[in-house]
Amino acid sequence: MNIDSIRNGIVIDHISPGKGMRLVQLLNLDREDMSVAIIKNVHSRKMGKKDIIKIDAEIPVDLDVIGFVDPEATVNRIQDGVLTEKKKIVQPKQLVNVIRCRNPRCITSVEQEIRHVFVLRDDGYRCLYCETRAEEDRK
């Protein structure tokens, strides 16, 4: 398979296999009016297989979202066909309005204006208000 290189934009690389679509959803790339290529299960010497997302536009991407989904991913900025910046991602200590609490009794379920805040604990992300563990495949 041949996917063209991008001239100006972003490449999210080294995504664990199967997590590329989740990133596209959480970053709202499926709602944007630009070319986005999602390449799944690409052969990788380092990882065996990986996903790659190519965004043919210079847009800001939320590194916390990427770190939540896959802290091993990298974000590469391309300008005039040349790699200008490569960022390693870290797992964020806190997520704000990325995922929603699934506890129907949580204050965030009742009060619409309250931000959905999850804090990283030893056992994963937990709601700041009710301590419910994040269900990572929900928005």
Task: Give the rounded distance of the alpha carbon of 34 from its chain centre.
Answer: 18
Select the CATH number that applies to the domain covering 9-88 from these four: 2.60.40.1180, 3.30.360.10, 3.10.20.30, 3.30.70.140. 3.30.70.140
Q: What is the CA radius of gyration of the chain?
A: 16
**pLDDT (tens digit per residue) in 8-46:** 999 999 999 999 999 999 999 988 888 899 999 888 888
Query: CA-to-CA distance for 57 and 119, rounded, in angstroms?
Result: 31
Cβ contacts of 28 within 8 Å, gap of 6 or more: none
Query: Does residue 75 contact residue 56 with C-beta atoms inside 8 Å?
Result: no
Q: Record the tokens describing residue 100, joined without a space.
A: 């929603």
**pLDDT (tens digit per residue) in 103-131:** 999 999 989 899 999 999 999 999 999 99
Residue ranges per structural domain of the chain: 9-88, 94-127
Say what the pTM is: 0.84
